[in-house]
Structure 1
């Protein structure tokens, strides 16, 4: 098979978090399995651009990647150069797999694929949910969805990374055909040792955004009877981070919060290993790679029931699940702090459980099978 991936950004643009890594691992795995993969993307790297040659194929860890110039420096990633090249070349590919949604870059690309009658798969990556459509700039999203998005998506096959995301997609477009397979992650071999902190240490490691529920976590920490430290690793809008720092001050927990900033791949695993508990009290999360990464190094997790992997955490008893109610968060934090035996068991067994459920080789074969099914359909 010859497969084209279209994604707003690609590695080494790690500033965009987990999707950069999981998309790259999927592409690299399919190439190793003997298929041809190309990626069309932009040079986006946050507010800056990657130092790459534009408009020419570059080998990136075995994958042929073409980076195109974008004329906007924000999340729209508008790239006429990519669209023009796609229109000229898209018929060369058996399947086009688009990652993300709402960005004009991918919406126009999806329309081009539909117009050219090419087999199309769309991975919304959490961008198609009632939470996303009804929060933030929801009016614009609702118009886009009604005028063009819903029709274009209905002509494609969707890929969800969790059962929860699969259900959300079906709810938004009844009758939509799709499949569910989890993200593919690169999980390095790490020593799993119990690390003793002077104070019980929580870690949040993700994009710093209002949907991540940090306000709820701050409120819960302010009500805890047990002493804790919260490390926050990630980047976000400076104005929002300033709001969170002001909130911490008002709640009198500033001394308990340590702002680590963005961490590299190597650094993030070190921080996860050294934490007692990973926390993600999110309003909406279609997968959350870092939950898997945390359990891989043996660090238990506390996640909200709105995190798609919360069902996995429950089923495997890999941590604690909470509602978005502050009192429930306080209760579950207290449970995690005081249940040392369970935390030790997770430290000892987490790595094996993750390996058994998220082995890259098996998942790559499953993805290739789904592509074959897509090609077989009229």
Structure 2
């Protein structure tokens, strides 16, 4: 596949109006819900009229939001629609609305694939001749195709998503690794790499010590922080035995696993910690948002994400922005940036290398400080909201001003 190069001198036409379609903005869905808010805030700040169409998906009950009419939030217009199903998030009212309103937008930016709203948005945009972009959120990666409903996913891709991606004006990947893994599927499309932005509006509202104060058992102990969804691909099954090995050399450290997930998976992981004899050194504070999330970052000594697959890695970028050294696997999309920027340590997804990396950083306070400073500079320069918004505006301008070249199979 041949990758075309974007004209970096392009810019958005005046009075541009962009619709973002995402199946859910519920925070329990993890990174995508955080990223969409950062993207749209950045675009609105730079004068783009920004709309978001989504569903009322949430748990345990739907979001309490007005349905079927525009809602203004932080200078962005949201359109919420009821979802009839939890799986696939089908919404017929969304379909009716978009069919009548799609032509009012210059560009439709779709976030997700293998979802009803995403597929319908791509089809309607194609029918209405509105250029559309798809950001696949990492689900085209190898791990996802091998471990998440592989038969159903390959069938759906062959029948539906492949043609929708091929018709897109562009497919936005967030890292080169995500783009390269998607190329294994051998479908013709126009790829562009633009990272996710990181916006930490609550960072200024916390002080060091607030998180520790909530948990007296953290007194006098260093903190290794995992903060993400609890999911099989996140590698917690590697992290727990690796942390057991860390404790053999440094007993004054606590692993904080902040997040939630499938209750049966959480039970199994807590049982694993007990069987490893480390349950007294592992804290499970649950899902953290807002200032509580920032407080956990502020008190962490090291951040760790031992994923088997990660198209980007929002949480480690947030940690870098907060000046925390990170340990990530070479399956996390930003691992090259972490390594080249000396913002942390990159390991394979295996127990012994993870344990060695964590032990080294715990023993070397000066190295932690140096890597934390490097990461803060990297995150501010590469992943700021304004930087990413500017690149997206250039992309939108290109789509509106000229035909988009296709990848050549």
TM bucket by the smaller chain?
over 0.9
CA RMSD in angstroms comes to 2.0
Give secondary structure in 1 for the equivalent of 2:357. helix
Q: In the alignment, what sits opposite 1:143?
A: 155
Query: Structure 1 residue 368: deviation in Å?
Result: 0.3
Q: 1:3 aligns with which of 4, 18, 23?
A: 18
- Residues 1:130 and 2:152 are matched in the alignment: no
- Would you say the 8 A contact 2:18–2:106 is kept in 1? yes
- Residues 1:329 and 2:354 are matched in the alignment: yes
Query: Structure 1 residue 70: deviation in Å?
Result: 0.5
Q: 1:251 aligns with which of 273, 276, 293?
A: 276
- Residues 1:346 and 2:371 are matched in the alignment: yes
Query: C-alpha offsets along residues 171-222 of structure 1, whole Å, 9 cap, x if unaligned?
Result: 3244421211111221345489799962332111000000000000011122
- Residues 1:202 and 2:224 are matched in the alignment: yes
Q: Are residues 297 and 186 of structure 1, via their aligned partners in 2, closer, same or farther at CA, if it must alter by over 3 Å? A: same
Q: In the alignment, what sits opposite 2:311?
A: 286
Distance of 1:269 and 1:118 partners within structure 2: 39
If the length of structure 1 is used for normalisation, what is the TM-score? Answer: 0.94
Deviates more, 1:352-361 or 1:155-164: 352-361
Distance of 2:299 and 2:127 partners within structure 1: 51
- Residues 1:275 and 2:261 are matched in the alignment: no
Distance of 1:296 and 1:25 partners within structure 2: 14
Query: C-alpha offsets along residues 127-157 of structure 1, whole Å, 9 cap, x if unaligned?
Result: 1111111112111101000111111111111
Give secondary structure in 2 for the equivalent of 1:242. helix
- Residues 1:24 and 2:37 are matched in the alignment: yes
Q: In the alignment, what sits opposite 2:195?
A: 182
Query: Structure 1 residue 376: deviation in Å?
Result: 2.7
- Residues 1:87 and 2:99 are matched in the alignment: yes
Structure 2: tracts of 5 or more residues without a match: 1-15, 213-217, 404-409
How many residues in Structure 1 have an aligned counterpart in Structure 2? 375
Query: Structure 1 residue 165: deviation in Å?
Result: 1.2
Deviates more, 1:191-200 or 1:123-132: 191-200
Distance of 1:355 and 1:192 partners within structure 2: 20
Query: Structure 1 residue 75: deviation in Å?
Result: 4.2
- Would you say the 8 A contact 1:150–1:173 is kept in 2? no
Query: Structure 1 residue 59: deviation in Å?
Result: 0.4
Q: Are residues 192 and 294 of structure 1, via their aligned partners in 2, closer, same or farther at CA, if it must alter by over 3 Å? A: farther
What is the 5 A alignment of 1:146-165? 146-156=158-168, 157-165=170-178
